[in-house]
Structure 1
Amino acid sequence: MTPAPALVHGAKAPPLWFKTLGALIDEQANRYEDHTAAVFSWQNVRLSYRQLSDRSKVLGKAMLEMGLRNGDCIGIMAGNCYQYIEVFLAGGRIGCPVVVLNNTYTAEELRNAVQKSSCKLVFLASEIGSRNLSGHINILRGSSRKNPALPDLRRVVCLGGSQVGEAGVEMQTYNTFTSNGHSVFMNDSVLKRAESLVRPDDVLNLQFTSGTTGSPKAAMLTHTNLINNARFVGDAMALTHEDVLCCPPPLFHCFGLVLGFLDTYTHGSTIVFPSDFFDVGKVVDALVEEDVTVLLGVPTMYISELEVMEKTGQRPRRLRTGLASGSTVSQSLMDQLREKMGVEKMLIAYGMTETSPVTFITSLSDPESKATRTVGRVIPHTSAKVIDSNGKLLGRGERGELCTSGFALQKGYWKNKEKTKESMKEDENGVLWMHTGDEAILDDDGYAHITGRIKDIIIRGGENIFPEKLKKGSCNILLSARPALWLSRTRDTARNEELNKWVGQLLGRHKAPAYCFWLGDAGIGNDFPKTGSGKIKKHVLCDIGNNLVHNGPVKAKL
């Protein structure tokens, strides 16, 4: 019997919103007024919907006063602070795309990202956690009135501290910059004129991809993309104005900015940012002190939070659900969250930066078998299909590349038409599809099972080897053109030969690793190289492995 085609379509209701972020800000301020919109525990700051609206107007006027116009890019590199939200809202009001810059960037990486995105204004924290960013400030400042390496950059605004200088690019503190919004020349009519030029399909946000397999690209995400994506994910979590959501993930990532802030903002809920970067103790404190009902994170965050709660005896009173992104939640972890946190159901979201980011999500009504083993079904106004290497549509249960279409697709990569055409292609019916590069299966019920990355498939002896299956079998990362184990040492570490034999018995001889690399050894490093969102940089691991193999000697050969 021929299987049904691996093609699914999301619901057509509710209808999409076609509005700008500025319009949404005003609507929510009128509707929710003094209801708390955002809490920044570590800064002791609480802002209502009305205050966020008013403050975004002042900051928007300050941006206009310095000469910014529709389409000019604004960058920000900072922790989860109140200024971050204000910059995002103000930029959206006046039509200036906000470029969220990775908190883990080196000074050189920051300069490259600012240069690539043509930022005219950059907001930069003086420190994030214990990390001092004076070097980052200096590299943006430059040594001449206009930094020759950053010809578009006109001003840097420091968040915290008083690091302003006379030489190089003009610098101001945040308070000084926002005071410019009170200029007599910047009245409401000037702001309204700027807002009237903004369209729902304009770029609201530039998000650099994680870059796990190569150089990151900047995805252009529109008002329509982000507002609707946040809205549908919030609907899946059944958010209301009575909910309080705790958001440890960073704002420089779609997880924090869209699935965190915009989710709550579109539903009149309250969001809590317990710290500028992930601090498990502060997260657990916030769960109790702010009476949190929804928690965001990745599985490793949840595990850390459970460990702290076990030691302190703390337990949230109203926590009902949460959202995990980047990985499914195992049944055993789900059981612990239910028993120790009171979470009845944890939702799983799947997507990519280029799709705003979510295209699949589980449901609060899903059975456990679907809730813990899949990434759910497509969200409204979205379609998905699974194809083979020739672009042919496969059947349900057949493994191939996942492609998605619909409102959530990025406008393209910033100033990179070539890469845009590589990943976004029209089919014979003129429908534009994002080729995700993820390998997946669509089951008979329309749920997606992500099985790996297409580029990670290893062909050995005529056999296809799927790294995701190897990871589940050996609990380690396997990469490169030949399987290789990347391991961290434990007290009772097995010998390489024993590991090779064990993997071969468990998964088959052709899947047994050719090399074994141990964290901590010379040339390896003490931890896996990761992006700011916690994903492993596979291309960096491959480079390390290839260097050790070809420039040996390699003691880890099996």
Structure 2
Amino acid sequence: MTTTRSVQRLQQTLSHVQPASAPVQWSIVAGPTEPELLDITLGELLTIQALQYGNYECLVFPWTGARWTYANLKEESERLALGMLAMGIQKGDRVGIMAGNCEQYISVFFAAARVGAILVVLNNTYTPSELHYALDHSGNSQRFISPPPKYKLEGTNSINPSYLGCKVMFITPRIGRHNLEEVLQRLGPQPKDIGTSKALEEIVILRGTYENFPTYNDIIARGASQSTYNYMLQERESSLRPDDVCNLQFTSGSTGNPKAAMLTHHNLVNNSRFIGDRMKLTSFDVLCCPPPLFHCFGLVLGMLAVVTHGSKIVFPSETFDPKAVIHAVSDEKCTALHGVPTMFEAILSVPGPKPANFDTSNLRTGIIAGAPVPRPLMKRLFEELNMTEYTSSYGLTEASPTCFNAFTTDSIHTRLTTVGKVLPHARAKIVDAKGNIVPVGQRGELLMAGYQLTKGYWNNPEKTAETFVTDSDGTLWLKTGDEASFNEQGYCTITGRFKDIIIRGGENIYPLEIEERLTAHSDIELASVIAIPDQKYGEVVGAFIQLSTGKTRPSDEDLRRWTRETLGRHKAPQYIFVFGEEGVSSTVPITGSGKVRKVELRAMATEALAKRAQ
């Protein structure tokens, strides 16, 4: 008995000296379950907001002079929806759009949603070959994998598979300095062929006129020609469901070819609503939005976040123009401003005197996304733009897009070092290479689950199967390909990228398509593309090339021109290194499996650039 008491006393003493270790906190978080998810379509959202905020201004485009109230937007989208019905647009038909930021773009977005069409938003910097691929890919027979019943993809029952490709495309002859007249001349007003698709029936000029192509106003006139279209629209809208696919957003992948994420009314309505909540938007707020509408940043974080809160949005110019942003912020007394870091750098670096009435005193918030925010830039946002409540954000197209967003009340340090907390009704976890959840503070791959996940990639079941994984509980998770860590409070820090992406000024660039283009050059045997740090853009394209035997080295400018012939200008390599020249090893560093070791290439690039600077 005495021995037992002695052991007990010894154990008590040890428990004070060596307290029991705290239980491990695992890297899995869930957003709040309030407010409840909205179960409405985009058309129903617009109807509700027009009833509540009908006379409030919704859209302002200083460069066109348009100032639309919520009632104006509802009426305009209805007139265009009637025109789409007159064109024969059926539920599930794909409608393409390629244009700069303008009021008609938003009218097309809502009109397509109201008739049950799937709007294919096309990057306005696409080359003709990239455009042809996107239009062709948006057709073809629909094939899906089969996730758990809770997330079952609908298959062709909700899609019209009777033809290939987009049925109609809305386009402008020019977008800023980007000339699309060559595309229009090649296709004609009623195209017979584009790429391999025979489906594109009509091209409509979104703004103004061009030769004998039908115009936006012509489509509206068709809808007004018969009163029966009004009944058809009522019937069509009543047949729509929040879970219907309404938007195809293109995002590239490791294959080098773009993938089209299928987003639903439910995805977009709820994600945009929670984004606005994090910014504390009200009907008295005015958001200045320079990002393009073809990107989720402009379309969801911008336009839809405003519409869900009865706020006003100002698109200062057709394409990004920092001077126009300055005037819009001043003239419209904006309270919020969106952009990627390079946009803010450009805005703050506009030469010459600011407008006499330049006033940022109304600015308080906004979202900076697409790349980390340098500390000096953040200081200038506070001091020169008054954005003391700016919020950092993280998302990806496949998640509609926002997953994490900071609060306006978070500390400056938190907003600088993290992307905030997970949004409501979303879940996130960080796993190791074997799929096991890691302890808090440890790095791993970020996975997402919840209402906002895409229904998969259009006509790409292989990539859909690669990107999504189902756990033992039947929950579907999206593998983001990004490396991240959580802290004890559930804040997320993005620490790296598993996907080999170059982020240039907020735009994702995928090396493989550049590598494939460079190796198509007759003088090049091998090409490997990496990110090079850049003070202005964050990252730019760097290319290592190996010359074919007996070939002469092409000039850097020749290779840039070669790249630009099929790819966007921003994808042309800014830096070019040749194996065996300028101190670069003649041996290509490869792994045991034959893959190029890009970590070594980055080190080689750093050394080579340092020598060039001497």
The TM-score bracket by the shorter chain reads 0.7 to 0.9
Does the 8 Å contact 1:403/1:433 carry over to 2?
yes
Separation in structure 2 between the aligned mates of residue 352 and residue 403 of structure 1, nearest angstrom: 11
**1:283 equivalent in structure 2:** 325
Judged with a 3 Å threshold, the aligned counterparts in structure 2 of structure 1 residues 322 and 154 are, in CA distance, closer, same or farther, namely same
Moved more, 255-264 or 153-162: 153-162
| Distance in 2, Cα, partners of 1:143 & 1:40 | 30
Question: Which of 277, 297, 304 is the aligned partner of 1:255?
Answer: 297
**Superposition deviation, residue 109 in structure 1:** 1.2
What are the superposed Cα offsets for residues 71-96 of structure 1, whole Å, 9 maximum, x if unpaired? Answer: 00110000001110000000011110
Task: Sort the Cα spacing of 1:149 and 1:528 in 2 relative to 1 into closer, same or farther, 3 A.
Answer: closer
Question: Secondary structure at 2:240's aligned position in 1?
Answer: coil
Determine the structure 1 residue equivalent to 2:340.
298
Distance 1:161 1:554, change over 3 A: farther
Q: Which residue is 2:421 aligned to?
A: 377
Give the equivalent residue in structure 1 for 2:461: 417
Over 3 Å counting, the alpha-carbon distance change for 1:59 and 1:15 in structure 2 is same
Residue type at the aligned position of 2:493: H
2:137 corresponds to which residue?
A: 116
SS at match of 1:332: helix
CA distance 1:486–1:524, shift in 2 (3 Å):
farther
Measure the CA separation in 1 of the matches of 2:481 and 2:348: 34
User: Is residue 367 of structure 2 the alignment partner of residue 346 of structure 1?
Assistant: no
Structure 1 residue 363 corresponds to structure 2 residue 407:
yes
- Deviation readout 1:244-272 (Å, 9 max, x if unpaired): 10000000000000000000000000000
TM-score by length of 2: 0.76
**Aligned pair count?**
504
Note the C-alpha offset of 1:486: 3.6
5+ unaligned residues in a row in structure 1: which ranges? 166-170, 458-466, 472-476, 491-512
Q: Which residue is 1:329 aligned to?
A: 373
- Counterpart of 1:174 in structure 2 is 216
2:176 to 129, 144, 169: 129
Alpha-carbon distance in structure 1 between the residues aligned to 2:222 and 2:511: 54
How far off is 1:521 after superposition? 4.1
Which residue in 2 is equivalent to 1:152? 199
Residues 330, 488 of structure 1: CA spacing in aligned structure 2 closer, same or farther, 3 A cutoff? closer
Cα contact 1:74–1:97 (8 A) shared by 2? yes
Q: In structure 2, do the counterparts of structure 1 residues 411 and 119 end up closer, same or farther at CA, with 3 Å as the change threshold?
A: same
The correspondence of residues 203-222 of structure 1 with structure 2, limited to 5 A, is: 203-211=245-253, 214-222=256-264
Could you tell me how far 1:214 is from its partner in structure 2? 2.3
1:266 and 2:287 equivalent? no
Residue pairs, 1:178-193, within 5 angstroms? 178-193=220-235
Letter in 2 for 1:350: Y
Shift in alpha-carbon separation, 1:142–1:34, aligned structure 2, 3 A = closer
| Aligned-partner Cα distance in 1 for 2:324–2:389 | 23
Q: Percent identity?
A: 43
5+ unaligned residues in a row in structure 2: which ranges?
1-20, 139-164, 505-509, 516-526, 537-542, 546-554, 586-603, 605-614
Cα–Cα, structure 1 residues 483 and 102, in superposed 2: closer, same or farther, change >3 Å?
closer
| Aligned mates of 2:259, 2:365 — CA distance in 1 | 33
Q: Rate the CA distance shift 1:488–1:293 in 2: closer, same or farther, 3 A.
A: closer
Residue 78 (structure 2) aligns with: 57
Q: Give, in angstroms, the shift of residue 315 of structure 1.
A: 3.0
Q: Is the 8 A contact 1:250 1:533 kept in 2?
A: no
**8 A Cα contact 1:164 1:173, kept in partner:** no
Q: Distance in 1 between matches of 2:535 and 2:79?
A: 54
Amino acid at match of 1:119: C
Distance in 2 of aligned mates of 1:241 and 1:336 = 28
- For 2:485 and 2:200, the matched residues in 1 are separated by 45
- Match in the other structure for 1:461: none
Which letter maps to 2:216? Y
2:62–2:316 Cα contact (<8 Å) kept: yes
Aligned residue number for residue 524 of structure 2: none
Residue aligning to 1:493: none
Q: Does 2:452 correspond to 1:431? A: no
The amino acid across from 2:308 in the alignment is T
Structure 1 CA distance for aligned equivalents of residues 295 and 345 of structure 2 = 21
**Cα distance change, pair 139–197 in 1 and its aligned pair in 2 (3 A):** farther
Letter paired with 2:103: Y
Partners in 2 of 1:487 and 1:339 — Cα distance? Answer: 26
Report the Cα offset of residue 415 of structure 1: 1.2
Q: In the alignment, is residue 10 of structure 1 matched against residue 31 of structure 2?
A: yes
Question: Partner letter of residue 107 of structure 2?
Answer: E
Separation in structure 1 between the aligned mates of residue 127 and residue 290 of structure 2, nearest angstrom: 22
Rg (Cα) greater in structure? 2
SS of the residue aligned with 2:170?
strand
2: CA distance between counterparts of 1:367 and 1:140? 54
Secondary structure of the residue aligned to 2:313 is strand
Q: CA deviation at 1:110?
A: 0.9
Q: Relative to structure 1, is the Cα distance of residues 348 and 532 closer, same or farther in structure 2, using a 3 angstrom cutoff? A: farther
CA contact (8 A) 2:127 2:567 kept: no
**Alignment check: 8 A CA contact 1:288 1:317 kept:** no
| Letter matched to residue 311 of structure 2 | S
TM-score, with normalisation over the residues of structure 1?
0.83
CA distance in structure 1 between the aligned counterparts of 2:100 and 2:535, rounded to whole angstroms: 32
Shift of 1:329: 2.2
How far apart are residue 338 of structure 1 and its match? 1.2
Cα deviations by residue, 1:140-160 (Å, 9 ceiling, x for unpaired): 338965658331211110123
